[in-house]
Structure 1
Amino acid sequence: MLRLVTFALLACSSLARPSPRAGYVLHEKRAQEPSGWTRERRLEPDYVLPLRIGLTQSNLHRIEEMLLDVSHPESPNYGKHYKPEQIVDTFAPSDMTVDAVKAWLIDSGFSDDRLSLSVSKGWLQVANASAAEVEELLDAEYHVYSHPSGAEQISCHSYHVPAHIKEHVDLIQPTVHFDHSANRRQKQKRQNGSKDLIQSHLRSGKTLGKEVTVPTDLADCDTMITLDCLRALYSVDYTPVATDKNTFGIVELTPQAFLQGDLDLFFGNFSPSQVGVSPVLVSIDGGVAQTTEQGFNENGESDLDLQYGMGLTNPQPVLLLQDGDLVEGGSFNNWLDAVDGSFCTFDGGDNKEFDGIYPDTRRGGFDKPESCGIIAPPNVISVSYGTDEASVTLAYATRQCNEYAKIGMMGSTVLYSSGDDGVAGNGGECLSTSNRASANGKKFNPGFPVDCPFLTAVGATQIDPGNTVDDPEGACEQVIFSGGGFSNFFAMPSYQADAVTSFLTNHPPPFTSAQFNNSGKVRAFPDVSANGTYYSANYVVAVAGEFELVFGTSCSAPVFGSLITLVNDARIAAGKSPVGFINPAIYTDTFAGAFNDITHGGNQGCGTAGFTATTGWDPVTGLGTPNLTSLMDIWLSLP
C-alpha cells in the first residue's frame, strides 16, 4: 500500500469575504480546501502568530539567464558555480523593498523594535503579532481547522495587501498554507490511510522472504530488478575514486526511515563489501532514523533509496537528509533551509515564540533551533516525494522553485521523481474546470515540485514482459504510469523549447485545452527517465527483515541520481567541477546519443490514455534513459 507521508500543516481561512478595503488588493488565495479538514472556529484574537513576510528578491527576472550561464555547455562560464555569499548578494531584496514594507508595517501600528530582518534580507519577521493585529493588517480572517486525527491547524482562505505593497511582497506566512499547528502541545497522529498533500512515489508488490536467489546471468531482470540489472541497462561500469570530494544526498521525510538490518540483508546478497556500512545521517529539524515503527509504510522508501543509491555508487558515502522530527515530520522547505541558510524564514529559528514549526515544544518534538544552513548543498540531491501543483499557491511554488535555481547555480543537481499516476495527480485525482482536485475531474493534474523548470524531473520505464536488458524499455504502464505533462504555473524554460515544440508539432496529443495546458509555452516534464518497473517486474528491496518487490517512480530518481554522482566523481578526479543543473546540457544535440529513446507506452489518467511515448522528447519518459558510458565521455569533454 502506498505510504502517505504526514507533516505539520498551516492555513488561514474564510470561505467568503467581502471586497477588500479601499486601497487593498488580493495577494494570495488558497488553491483548494484541504481534504479531511473541518473549519471549527475563528482564531482567538490574542493568539500570537509567527508573522513572516517574504520580500520580493532582486534579479529574479534574470534567474534563468544566470542559471544557464553556469549550466549550458556552450557558455564560457560553464561549471563556474556561485558561492553561497554570492547568491545572497545577488538576490537580496532592494533597500526600496525593505523600506516600503517596513513603512507599511509601522503605519499599521507595529513599532520598529518589533521588526527584524533576516541576514539574507529575504524575510521580515514581526514579534508578538496577535491574530487581531494580523487580520487587520492583511484584511483576512483566521480560523482553526480540525482533522479526524485530532490535529488542529490555523489558516486564512485569502489575504490582501495595499496595492503599492504588492510588488514588494512574495508571500506572507502563516496565511493560506497548512504549516502551523494551533495546538503545539498536541502530538499529531499519523493516519496511514488518509489522503495527504505529500506522498512517496513507491508501492509494494509482494514479499519474497528473507532469502532470494541472486540472478547471475541477468535472465530474470524482466521480473526482478537488481543492481546488476541496472548496471547492464544503463552501461554502468565505473568505480568512484574521488569519494572524499564528492557528495550525494538522499532526502527522506520522517517518519520514513531506514533499518540498518535491512541494508545489511540487501548488501549481504548483492554487495557484500557494504555489509555494516551506513549512510551519513544529516538530521534536519530533529530528523531521526526511527526503528520503533517497522514495515513497508515506515521503511520501504528509505530502504529502497539507500540500498540502490549506496549500491550503485559504492564506495561513495551517501548523505541521508532525514527531514523533520517524529511529531511534525518534514517538508520540502525543511531540507532547503538546511542546505541554504539564506532560504530560512529567519535567523536560525531559535525563538520559539516567533517560529511556527521549530523549536517544537510538543512532547517528543525537536526543541532546538531550526536547522538553517547546516550543510552545503550536496552535488546531487534525490527526492522521491511529491504533491500536486494545484495544492499550492503560485506564490508558494514560485519562491520554492527559485530556490532550486539558486542551488543549481551553486553546482547541485536536484532530481525529483515524476509521480505514479500518469497525467493525474496523487491518488489518481484530476482537476475540475475550476482547477480543484476532484475524484470526478477530467483535467490533467501536474505535480509539484517536479513541474519546476529549475530541477530535473525523472519518469519511470519498464523492461517489457519477456524482454531482456538488451531490449528497448517501454514507459511504465501496468500498475503505475509515469507522471508527466505540462505545468499550469511555470513558463517553458528556453533549454527545452525546441524539444517540446517538436513534440507538440510532430506528435500533437489528441486532447484540448480543457484537458491540459496546450499553449506550447509552459514547462513540460519529465526530463529523463530510469527503470521504475511494473507489476511483475519489481525492484528487490530488503524491508523490515524480508525481501520485497517494490515499484514506482521512487525507484527512478535515486538510480538516475546515482549515475550523475558517478559522472561527478570522474569530473572531480579530472580536476573539474560537478555538473550542477544538467537540463541545459542534456537537451542539446551533443547529448542526444547519450540517452536511450523510449518510443512506446503511455501514462494514462483522468479517463484518458494520457500522452504517448514517441521518438525524441515526450511527456511520458522525457529524453529517455541514460547511457552512463556516453554521458561520462561527453561530460568529461566539457570544461
Structure 2
Amino acid sequence: MLLAPRVLLALVLGLASTAAAFAPPLSPHVRHETRRALPRGWAPVCRAERDSVLPLRIGLAQSNLDALEEYLLDVSHPESPNYGNHWTPAKVAQTFRPSAEAVDTVRAWLADGGVSADRVRLNPSGGWLTANVTVEEAEGLLATEYFVYEHAESGHKQVGCESAYHLPEHVAKHVEIVTPTLHFDAKVKKRSGVKSKLGTPGSGPVTPKTTGKIQTLFNELKNCDEQITPICLRALYDFVYIPLATKKNSIGIVEYTPQAYNPSDLDLFFTNFSSSQVGQRPVMESIDGGTIDVGGGGFDINGESNLDLQYAMSLVGKSQPVTLYQTGDDLEGASFNTLLDALDGSYCLFEGGDDPDQDPSYPDPFGGGYQGPTQCGGITPAHVISTSYSYDEVDLTPAYMQRQCAEYAKLGLMGVTVLYSSGDFGVAANGGLCLDSEGFLDFDGDIFAPSFPGGCPYITSVGATQVNPGAKVTDPESACNQVIFSGGGFSNVFAMPSYQKSAVTNYLTKYPPPFASQGVYNTSGSRAYPDISANGANYAVAVQGEFFLVYGTSASSPVSAAILSAVNDARLAIGKKPIGFINPSIYSSLFKGVFNDITNGSNPGCGTEGFPAQPGWDPVTGLGTPNFPQLLARWLLLP
C-alpha cells in the first residue's frame, strides 16, 4: 500500500534534481501543522539528502468550509424547510472548490521559493497544487528539516519532516495540508507481503473477535443470550419489513482487501437462516483492484466480510440488492481515502492519488499489484454505507482527519447515511493501549484514546450492546462487556456539533463521570460518540464451512445499516427522499423515545470503568438501539 513512500525513499536516497535559489517569504512563517509524537515503532535514521526530490503536494483551503455544518443542517434537520433537499455532486464540488485567490497566493509563494511556474500543476478539481522540489527547497519553503524514518518492526522507511512545518502567514490561510510532511502511514507493511493495516487481520480498533467454533447451532429466540441470529435481531428491534422500492433503494457494505467474503459461507449461512437467499451474492464494486480472490482463508481473512454481508443481506432480504465496495488490491491495500476518491471525483488529489504518506498509489509499477489508475469518481454512493473499520485518532494528524471528515459531510449533503463502528476497546485504543502525558500510546498510559472516524461529527458512530447471559430477548440489553467493550468517549480533534449539545450536556450534568477531574478525557466541549448502538455479542457467523461465535461493533454497524435502509425504502416508496445524514434528526425532540434506551454497563479501559450507560444519550451506547416501528413512523412524517 505504501507505493508513494517507497518511491519517496528511492528519490531521497538517489534521485537528484537541480535546486533553484529561493527568495525570502513575504511574511513571517507560522507553525501550520504539528506532530506531538512519532507513532509507535518509528525512529529517524538519517537526514534526507538535500538535493533529492520530493513530490510536494499542497492541499488548498476549500471555500465555504466555515458554513459546512450550516449547509448540512439545512438539509438534515427535521425542522428545516429544506429537509431532504439534498445537493447534487456538481453543486457540492462548486461550493467547496478552492478560490482563485488561494491558487494564486500559493503559486506566488512557490515562485518566490524558486519553484518555476512550469513545475507547478493544479489538479482538475482545483483542490491541490503539486510540484517536484528538492529537499533543500522544501526545507526552505516549510522552515523544517527532513529525515528518513524507519519502522522497527517492518523495516519500512519513509521520508518526513521533524515535529512541525511552517508556512508564511499570508499563505497559511489558503492551505489545509502539505505532504509529504508529518503524516506517517497507519498501515505499516513491507513489499514482501505484509498487507495494509486497514484490512490486515487483527489491526485497527475495529476488527471482529471470536471465542471459537460453535458446537451446537441454535436458531430459537430462547437462545439469543447464547447466540445471535437474524431472528434475534428482528425480535430485539421489532424489525419486520417487506421492501417495496428496491430498484430505487441502495445499501453499501465497505470491505478492505485482504478481508474478503467466502461465497460458500454465504450459502451455508442462508441455508440455516434465510433459505430463499441461497445462491444470492452482493453486487461487487471493485475499487482499485478490490478482489475477494485473496491468498488463504479462515476467520482472520473471511471473518469481517462474512459477518457484514451475512447479516446485512439476510436482514434486508432477498429482493434488496446489497452493494459490496471491495476496496484495494491484495498487495497495496487501501485507505478510507481510496473509497472516498471513488465515491466523489472532486475529492481526488493530483492524478487521482492521495496523501503519499497515508494512501496507496496506482498503477503499481513494481508488478504484481493493480495496474489500473486510482479510481477517481465513477461509483454512485449507496443511500446507506456501513464501514466496520477505523483508526485511532493519535495515528493521524488533525489536518488529515479534518479534510476527510469534511468529505463525509459532503456525502451527507448528497443524501448519504455514513455509518462507522465506534471501536471494540471501550475508552482505549487498539489493543487496549492508552495515551501517556506526552501523547504516546503506551501500555502504562491512562488517558483515553478516541477513534477516527468515530469522532468525526459528520458520520453516525455505532456502539455495541448485548443480551445479558440468562436474559430473555425481550429483556433490556446492556452495554457490551463480553469479549469486547463498546468504543466511546470524546474526540481530541473535533468540536462538539450543535445537534448533540443538549444530549451530551444532559449526560455530563446529571451523571458526571467519576474521573471527570482527572484529565483522562477531553472536557473542553468536543464531539462525543457513539450516536447509536446495536447488538455486538455472540453472533453466529459461517466461516470456511463452520460457525463461529463473533463479537464486535463490526456487527453493530451493518445491522444498523440494514434497519435504516428499510426506512429509506419506505420513504422512497411514497415518493420521498432518503434520510441522508441522520444525526440532526435522531438527536432532535421529534425523535425522543424512538431508541431503546440502554442504562446498564460501561466501556472500561485505561485503568477505569469507562463511562457508565445512563438514561438518555451516553458515551458508550449513544441514544440506544433501534426501535424500528418508531423510527419508521417518525421518518415517514418528515417531508
- Structure 1-normalised TM-score? 0.91
Q: Is the 8 A contact 2:39 2:440 kept in 1?
A: no
Which residue is 2:13 aligned to?
Answer: none
Give the Å deviation of 1:33: 1.5
Q: Given the alignment of the two structures, is residue 495 of structure 1 paired with residue 499 of structure 2, yes or no?
A: yes
Which residue is 2:602 aligned to?
Answer: 602
Give the Å deviation of 1:348: 3.1
1 CA distance for matches of 2:208 and 2:188? 32
* 2:223 aligned to which of 220, 226, 245: 220
Give the Å deviation of 1:181: 11
Q: Is the 8 A contact 1:222 1:468 kept in 2?
A: yes
Q: Is the 8 A contact 2:200 2:258 kept in 1?
A: no
SS at 1:542 equivalent? strand
Which residue is 2:483 aligned to?
Answer: 479
SS at 2:104 equivalent? helix
Which residue is 1:107 aligned to?
Answer: 112
How many pairs are equivalent?
616
Q: Is the 8 A contact 1:486 1:516 kept in 2?
A: no
Q: Given the alignment of the two structures, is residue 30 of structure 1 paired with residue 35 of structure 2, yes or no?
A: yes
Q: Is the 8 A contact 2:468 2:477 kept in 1?
A: yes
Give the Å deviation of 1:508: 0.8
Change (3 A) 1:180 1:202: closer
Change (3 A) 1:48 1:243: farther
Q: Given the alignment of the two structures, is residue 201 of structure 1 paired with residue 207 of structure 2, yes or no?
A: yes
Give the Å deviation of 1:638: 0.8
2 CA distance for matches of 1:220 and 1:72? 40
Give the Å deviation of 1:136: 3.0
Alignment-mate amino acid for residue 620 of structure 2: V
SS at 2:87 equivalent? coil
SS at 2:519 equivalent? coil
Change (3 A) 1:7 1:621: farther
Which residue is 2:549 aligned to?
Answer: 549
Give the Å deviation of 1:144: 2.8
Q: Given the alignment of the two structures, is residue 585 of structure 1 paired with residue 585 of structure 2, yes or no?
A: yes
Which residue is 2:17 aligned to?
Answer: none
Deviations 1:54-94 (A, max 9, x none): 11111111100100000001100000001001001111111
* 2:86 aligned to which of 81, 85, 91: 81
Q: Given the alignment of the two structures, is residue 316 of structure 1 paired with residue 309 of structure 2, yes or no?
A: no
User: Any residues of structure 2 matched to 1:375-454 within 5 Å, and which?
Assistant: 375-454=379-458
Alignment-mate amino acid for residue 590 of structure 2: T
Q: Given the alignment of the two structures, is residue 117 of structure 1 paired with residue 128 of structure 2, yes or no?
A: no
2 CA distance for matches of 1:246 and 1:491? 33
Give the Å deviation of 1:291: 3.6
Give the Å deviation of 1:30: 2.4
Identical aligned pairs, as a percentage?
55
Which residue is 1:170 aligned to?
Answer: 176
Alignment-mate amino acid for residue 69 of structure 1: D
Unaligned stretches of 5+ in structure 2? 10-23
2 CA distance for matches of 1:245 and 1:465? 41
Give the Å deviation of 1:374: 2.0
Change (3 A) 1:474 1:486: same
Aligned CA-pair RMSD: 2.6
1 CA distance for matches of 2:262 and 2:200? 25
2 CA distance for matches of 1:196 and 1:156? 30
2 CA distance for matches of 1:291 and 1:492? 41
Change (3 A) 1:34 1:290: farther
* 2:257 aligned to which of 251, 254, 258: 254
SS at 1:205 equivalent? strand
Q: Is the 8 A contact 1:153 1:180 kept in 2?
A: no
2 CA distance for matches of 1:168 and 1:43? 28
* 1:244 aligned to which of 247, 250, 262: 247
Q: Is the 8 A contact 1:530 1:560 kept in 2?
A: yes
2 CA distance for matches of 1:434 and 1:227? 45
Q: Given the alignment of the two structures, is residue 142 of structure 1 paired with residue 143 of structure 2, yes or no?
A: no
Q: Is the 8 A contact 1:174 1:180 kept in 2?
A: no
Give the Å deviation of 1:135: 2.9
Give the Å deviation of 1:199: 4.3
Which residue is 2:16 aligned to?
Answer: none
Q: Is the 8 A contact 2:2 2:360 kept in 1?
A: no
Change (3 A) 1:337 1:309: same
2 CA distance for matches of 1:501 and 1:202? 32
Q: Which moved more, 1:284-293 or 1:473-482?
A: 284-293
SS at 1:281 equivalent? strand
Q: Is the 8 A contact 2:196 2:333 kept in 1?
A: no
1 CA distance for matches of 2:187 and 2:512? 46
Change (3 A) 1:317 1:7: farther
Q: Is the 8 A contact 2:341 2:352 kept in 1?
A: no
Alignment-mate amino acid for residue 633 of structure 1: A
Q: Is the 8 A contact 1:50 1:356 kept in 2?
A: no
Alignment-mate amino acid for residue 532 of structure 1: G
Which residue is 2:20 aligned to?
Answer: none
Which residue is 2:279 aligned to?
Answer: 276
Change (3 A) 1:9 1:621: farther
SS at 2:576 equivalent? coil
Give the Å deviation of 1:151: 3.1
Give the Å deviation of 1:435: 2.5
Give the Å deviation of 1:366: 1.6
Which residue is 1:16 aligned to?
Answer: none
Which residue is 2:100 aligned to?
Answer: 95
* 2:514 aligned to which of 505, 510, 518: 510
SS at 2:411 equivalent? helix
Deviations 1:147-192 (A, max 9, x none): 43343333223322122211111001222112499999x4452499
2 CA distance for matches of 1:232 and 1:50? 55
Q: Is the 8 A contact 1:45 1:132 kept in 2?
A: yes
Alignment-mate amino acid for residue 301 of structure 2: E
* 2:466 aligned to which of 457, 462, 465: 462
2 CA distance for matches of 1:406 and 1:522? 21
1 CA distance for matches of 2:29 and 2:201? 35
Alignment-mate amino acid for residue 445 of structure 1: A
Change (3 A) 1:572 1:465: same
Change (3 A) 1:363 1:246: same
2 CA distance for matches of 1:257 and 1:154? 32
Q: Which moved more, 1:142-151 or 1:363-372?
A: 142-151
Give the Å deviation of 1:131: 3.3
Unaligned stretches of 5+ in structure 1? 1-5, 14-19
User: Any residues of structure 2 matched to 1:515-554 within 5 Å, and which?
Assistant: 515-517=519-521, 519=523, 521-533=525-537, 538-554=538-554
Give the Å deviation of 1:226: 0.3
Alignment-mate amino acid for residue 463 of structure 2: G
Which residue is 1:17 aligned to?
Answer: none
Q: Is the 8 A contact 2:230 2:314 kept in 1?
A: yes
* 1:235 aligned to which of 219, 235, 238: 238
SS at 1:236 equivalent? coil
Q: Given the alignment of the two structures, is residue 287 of structure 1 paired with residue 314 of structure 2, yes or no?
A: no
Change (3 A) 1:164 1:502: same
User: Any residues of structure 2 matched to 1:333-352 within 5 Å, and which?
Assistant: 333-349=337-353
4+ long deviations beyond 6 Å:
6-9, 180-184, 191-197
2 CA distance for matches of 1:490 and 1:514? 21
